Amino acid sequence: MTHCVHLLQNTRPHRAPIRVANGLVVYSELVGEIVLRPLIHGHARSRSVILSNVLYVPALSHNLISTTYLSVHHDYTVLMKENYILFKRNGEMYFVADISEQGQAFVRETVMDKELVTGVRLASARKPDPICEPCLFGKLNAGLFPSTGHRSGAPLDLIHSDLKSYSVPTREGWKHRVTFVDDHTGFKVAYHMKNKSETFAALKMFQAYAETHWGLKIKAFQDDKGGEYMSNEFRSHLDKCGIVHRHSVRARPQQNGTAERSNRTVDEHSTAMLHEANLPPAFRALAVSAYIHVCNMHPTARDPTRTPHELVEAGNAERTGVNSKKLCIARQDKKRIYRPGVNSKKLKNSREGGTIYVDRACDCTGIM
């Protein structure tokens, strides 16, 4: 391709789209031939070189030649040297092309030659690689894991689980919680623990509760292959109950996305509740239990007309009204709300005379 129309012979109109380096599309206007009288070591060859099918592209700033095209279609042998390129055909030298420095030493061209900075020197005359590997490495990022969009067909067909540790122990001394999420309904249950080894006991409690109240059996269980899920008694129990034990790859939370996202959502909302009530992180467990209860009683995006609680109860559950909420309401008191030894500065911005939502009472029939 060339931008010099005077070099062309035997031209004819020809319009073809060409995408250049900056992504723009330009068009050719003519196609023809160029006759070259190449120089070899400063002396002109007696035999001319004819380049056919050369496009005239006015938008180009330089003449371009495809070495691949010459090699494949015209049997040229192309030898790349440091400062020049040799073109041979049938063992005979045809012409030599010098390699331009333009676009090779970016620092020298844009900084040194324009005197934008002093004290910069190139370490050697060797042309730098235009591909900057450190730059590419710095821009690498993990792509999104595609969602399958598949949901299990019935409650308890698949249970997702994940363990979350607290940075500050709760008032009860709990340091961890394990969450179980039903894949079909989105119904979630959380158990708080002092040690990760209590995960197996939490599973048995959840299994007994779910199978008793929902009348179904757990068919598959998925986790992130953490140590708390890999004990011999844990795996033996699942095998004995006929439950398929599935794992995601370790250190790949995206593959256990349902449980991971559920834990994150619970953390975000429980943190907001604690902030609104001016309570310290020691009350985290109560806020988590309160939010999960509200979440199970509220319609979700997957089913805007029914709540997870209604779905797991197969339509037999009554909708929970405001008057039937089981709440525990406590008056905010700087002197009594904390146990001895807890820093009272956490309440320096508390609302005088206000009330705080502490927990959902599961074993009472009214509002305390």
For tokens 């050697």, name the residue: 124
Q: What is the C-alpha separation between 174 and 31, in angstroms, rounded?
A: 79
Report how far Cα 274 is from the mean position of its chain's Cα atoms: 29
Helix or strand run (H / E) with residue 289: helix 284-296
Residue of 80, 86, 83 lying closest to 126 (CA atoms) = 83
**Res. 167: pLDDT tops 50:** yes
Q: What is the C-alpha separation between 22 and 327, in angstroms, rounded?
A: 64
% of the chain beyond a pLDDT of 90:
27
Higher confidence at residue 147 or residue 68? 68
Q: What is the pLDDT of residues 109-154, one digit of tens each?
A: 455 555 555 555 555 555 556 677 777 777 777 666 666 667 778 8
Higher confidence at residue 186 or residue 44? 186
CATH class held by domain 159-360: alpha beta
Residue of 65, 69, 59 lying closest to 3 (CA atoms) = 59
**Would you state the torsion angle of the CA atoms of residues 23, 24, 27, 33, taken in this order, to the nearest 10 degrees?**
-40
- CA-based torsion, 131, 134, 139, 142: positive or negative: positive
Q: What residue spans define the domains of the chain?
A: 5-98, 159-360
Q: Give helix 284-296 / helix 257-277 axis angle, nearest 10°.
A: 120
Residue type, 232: N
Write the CB contacts of 341 (distance below 8 Å, at least 6 apart in sequence).
none
Model pLDDT, residue 226: 87
Average pLDDT, the chain: 76
C-alpha distances in Å from residue 239, one per residue of 60, 98, 219, 253, 337? 70, 73, 11, 25, 46
Q: How many CA atoms lie within 13 A of 148 on its CB side?
A: 9
pTM: 0.52
